[in-house]
Amino acid sequence: MKTVTIAGQQVPQTAALAPMASVADTSYRLLCRKHGACMTTGELVSAKGLCYGSKGSAELCRITPEERPMGLQLFGSEPEFMEEAVRRILPFQPDFIDLNMGCPVPKVVNQGAGSALMKTPELAETLMKAVVRAADGACPVTVKMRIGWDEQHINAVDFAKRMEAAGAAAITVHARTRTQFYSGRADWNQIAAVKQAVQVPVIGNGDITCGADAVRMYAETGCDLVMVGRASYGNPWIFEEIACALAGEPFAAPAIPARLQEMLLHIRMILERSEKSEQLAMREARKHALWYLRGYPGAAAFRARSATLNSYAEAEALVQDYLHHAGRREAP
Ligand SMILES: Cc1cc2nc3c(=O)[nH]c(=O)nc-3n(C[C@H](O)[C@H](O)[C@H](O)COP(=O)(O)O)c2cc1C
């Protein structure tokens, strides 16, 4: 299998897991790594939150060995806070620090952070320089950007060049504008244009839903690595599928019972890691259960049940009932 070096980490040239706040937490990242994600990035962390000693922000920086190579992602818009946040994040020993210049949510954008930085490339450059300086060679700094603020202001190439000049060791391009949020098509031509324009590795992101999409993104953009977000919902096997597609090998999708066992494992991992009561932690697990149950024949009623799960025992019962129901459907 081919390998590629991204921000000092030599990894199989398959697919990385995208950072996803409130979704790709420790349990999720561990499962995706187990199924072949070649690297991971943590959920975005507020630089200010870290500087003010927020417990929640610090918790987002915890890394377990099996998640590595793993980057920690910072967002902010003030160089002093970013520098101090780097000093606070380094003890967690991230394999790289990623700067978020793509988040579209108003809470982040209204602070001039996330994708708002696509509108202020000089400030983005200042932030990158400040973070690289503060990291002081202890770990590489990368950036995750969009292709522009809106369709009238596509500035991916100029922006990426600035990031490279300011010291970015790799550049992830989520090929949408801010105003697209997560809808509309990702414009992979912009990933190709960035790849042509910079020397550092380029990671392509947006709209990979299957192995064939990953093969096509590599071929059409020349990117060094691809990154997958939403297609991994309830489907950590997407990384195995991509590895098979790249190797030209057939991929045998796991059967429903195996998928549901993995769902139960995922729920156990969430419960084991949570400091909340089982009932509260199950609220976080529900969306994952729903995702694992997507697309199964006759599963609509079971999906509805996943939205009310209050305990692990209820999740186990749901799986038993579904398998019983599916078995009956298949019986002659
Ligand atoms: C629920 C959710 C949370 C996200 N959180 C982050 C984040 O914390 N940092 C970040 O850089 N991007 C975040 N993203 C964007 C993804 O990393 C990725 O760029 C986007 O989903 C496009 O890739 P996809 O089409 O493979 O899903 C998030 C996306 C989703 C759907």
Number of domains into which the chain is organized: 2
Domain hosting 190: range is: 3-247
| 103 counts as catalytic | yes
Residue 117 near residue 147 (C-beta atoms within 8 A): no
Q: CB under 8 Å to 147, separation ≥6 — which residues?
A: 154, 155, 156, 173, 174, 175, 176, 177, 187, 190
Last residue of a domain, one of 247, 275, 301: 247
Do both 112 and 49 map to the same domain?
yes
pLDDT at 1: 82
Do both 46 and 163 map to the same domain?
yes
Last residue of a domain, one of 247, 266, 297: 247
Do both 52 and 31 map to the same domain?
yes
pLDDT at 296: 85
DSSP state of 324: H
Q: CB under 8 Å to 40, separation ≥6 — which residues?
A: 16, 17, 19, 24, 29, 32, 33, 67, 68, 69, 70, 71
Strands (E), 36-117: 40-41, 45-46, 70-75, 96-101
In the structure, what pLDDT confidence band is assigned to residue 299 with cuts at 50, 70 and 90?
confident
* 82/93 Cα distance (integer angstroms): 17
DSSP state of 42: P
Res 278 pLDDT > 80:
yes
Do both 111 and 142 map to the same domain?
yes
The verdict on the CB of residue 103 being under 6 Å from ligand 1 is yes
Res 37 pLDDT > 60:
yes
In the structure, what pLDDT confidence band is assigned to residue 295 with cuts at 50, 70 and 90?
confident
Nearest CA to ligand 1 atom 1: 20
Do both 164 and 283 map to the same domain?
no
| Token pair in block for residue 216 | 């096509």
Do both 241 and 269 map to the same domain?
no
Task: Give residue 75 CA to ligand 1 midpoint distance, Å.
Answer: 14
CB neighbours of residue 294 within 10 Å = 11
The verdict on the CB of residue 210 being under 6 Å from ligand 1 is no
Q: Which residues pair with 98 in a beta bridge?
A: 73, 142
Last residue of a domain, one of 220, 247, 274: 247
Q: For the segment 69-86, what is each residue's pLDDT rounded down to a tens digit? A: 999 999 999 999 999 999
| Token pair in block for residue 24 | 């790709």
Do both 282 and 141 map to the same domain?
no
pLDDT at 242: 98
Q: What percent of the chain has pLDDT over 90?
A: 95
Do both 32 and 112 map to the same domain?
yes
Nearest to 101 by CA among 80, 79, 128: 128
- Region 130-159: mean pLDDT is 98
Q: CB under 8 Å to 230, separation ≥6 — which residues?
A: 20, 182
* 177/115 Cα distance (integer angstroms): 8
Do both 135 and 185 map to the same domain?
yes
- Cis peptide bond N-terminal to 297, omega within 30: no
Do both 109 and 169 map to the same domain?
yes
pLDDT at 248: 98
pLDDT at 298: 83
pLDDT at 330: 60
Do both 141 and 8 map to the same domain?
yes
pTM of the complete model beyond 0.95: yes
- Region 227-241: mean pLDDT is 98
Q: What percent of the chain has pLDDT over 70?
A: 99
Q: What is the 3-state secondary structure (H, E, C) of 169-211?
A: CCEEEECCEHHHCCCCCCCHHHHHHHHHHCCCCEEEECCCCCH
Place of tokens 């998928």: 259
Do both 41 and 139 map to the same domain?
yes
pLDDT at 332: 47
The verdict on the CB of residue 102 being under 6 Å from ligand 1 is yes
pLDDT at 323: 93
The one catalytic residue in 38, 103, 139, 223 is: 103
* CATH assignment at residue 209: 3.20.20.70
Res 304 pLDDT > 50:
yes
Nearest to 227 by CA among 27, 6, 45, 31: 6
pLDDT at 329: 66
Q: CB under 8 Å to 295, separation ≥6 — which residues?
A: none
Task: Give residue 18 CA to ligand 1 midpoint distance, Å.
Answer: 6
pLDDT at 244: 98
* 150/9 Cα distance (integer angstroms): 33
- Atom of ligand 1 at shortest range from CA of 176: 22
The mean of the pLDDT values for the chain is 97
Place of tokens 């996330």: 114
Question: How would DSSP label each residue in 86-103?
Answer: HHHHGGG--SEEEEEE--
In the structure, what pLDDT confidence band is assigned to residue 208 with cuts at 50, 70 and 90?
very high
